[in-house]
Chain A
Amino acid sequence: MRAIPAVALLLASLACHAETPQQIRQIYVAEATSQQAGFTPSAKRGDAFFRQRFAINDKMPACISCHTDSPLNAGEHAVTGKSIKPLAVAANPNRLSDPAKVEKWFGRNCKEVVGRACTPAEKADFVTFLSEVR
């Protein structure tokens, strides 16, 4: 059963057209539901996660260290100072259109900022927040 979300991600990324934020959310919701019956994604929890100070990494203690306190704004890399495009779909329509890219950045940033892999529920909440925030 655990392989199903991975297969879904693979199939989604094999498809040549871009995915919608809703489809990407659905992949994580399905994965979270398989671990926790009755799971419903919440933009509010995603927002709280975005602001949470994990303090694992001195230079990047939280998402907001680079992405500013609103995902609608362009961010600034805490180490290099390079500009980062907004995370919110409302401000940057290219966000949440490639499941492999979304999974890659969850993999890298969760490890470095949160200090562990993010759970499917956290990912579902976060994706929901980014696609709904205005």
Chain B
Amino acid sequence: MQKILVWDWPVRLGHWLMVGGFILAWLTSESESLRLVHVLSGGTVVAVALFRLPWGFIGSRYARFVDFVRGPGSVVDYLRSLIRLDPDHHTGHNPAGGWAIVLLLGLGIATGLVGWAMYNELGGDWLEELHEGLAATMLTVVFIHVAGVISGSLLHGENLVRAMITGHKQGSPEKAIPSARPLAAIFLLVWVGAASWWLAS
């Protein structure tokens, strides 16, 4: 076991753009003077999530949905191993983390698109209720995700937050991804800028 590259650039950059966008959107949710900041940061979350869907098929090994979307049985097994304080080690995402990704992507897209419809007055007050309900659900999943990351990090003795920054985790050398895919990350930045700008206009 040694430090190997596991997360490519689009995964890491997309993750932290989504974190920043979600926090900013949450903090500016009730302000009219910061309404544009809210719409741009929410647009960032939607844009990252929309990029992540195709990247889940064409991205590097551990970015692909087939690598981490597992059935409920695997999730229960992993959660049991967490409760035993001896979690199974996964080079990529663990099964619980995999479901957090799927839920957060779905909720990020749904919340953002409903927000966009509200902003353009495409529906009534029910859109506002739905937007707030979806955002609150997303915040709940975020808390569960963060709790899982912290407990997983402590129990594995592996800092998963740092891994999402550097891209490196413990693993055998043949399991490393060959490239961090920097060009796709540049495309992601351009896409997020253009898409969130368009959503906010």
Contacts and interface: CB of A to CB of B under 8 A. Distances in A.
B37 to A, nearest CB: 9
B43 to A, nearest CB: 13
Contact of B33 (A57, A82, A101): A57
30 contacts: A57-B33, A58-B33, A59-B33, A60-B32, A60-B33, A66-B32, A77-B32, A77-B35, A78-B32, A78-B33, A79-B32, A79-B33, A79-B35, A79-B36, A80-B35, A80-B36, A80-B39, A80-B119, A82-B119, A82-B121, A83-B121, A98-B125, A101-B125, A108-B30, A108-B31, A108-B32, A109-B32, A111-B30, A112-B32, A112-B33
* Top 7 A-B pairs, shortest CB-CB distance: A59-B33, A108-B30, A80-B35, A79-B35, A57-B33, A79-B36, A60-B33
B31 to A, nearest CB: 6
Contacts, number: 31
A74 B35 CA distance: 19
Interface string B20-39: 00000000001111011001
Contacts of A66: 32
Interface of A: 57-60, 66, 77-80, 82-83, 98, 101, 108-109, 111-112
A65 to B, nearest CB: 10
Interface extent on B, as a size class? 10 to 19
Given A79-B33, A108-B30, 17 more contacts: A60-B32, A66-B32, A78-B32, A78-B33, A79-B32, A79-B35, A79-B36, A80-B35, A80-B36, A80-B39, A80-B119, A82-B119, A108-B31, A109-B32, A111-B30, A112-B31, A112-B33
A14 to B, nearest CB: 15
A58 B34 CA distance: 12
Interface string B182-198: 00000000000000000
A101 B132 CA distance: 14
A14 B125 CA distance: 16
Nearest to A98: B125
Nearest to B34: A79
A60 B125 CA distance: 24
Contacts of B33: 57-60, 78-79, 112
A36 to B, nearest CB: 29
Interface centre among A57, A60, A80 (most CB of B within 10 A): A80
Nearest to B30: A108
A98 B126 CA distance: 13
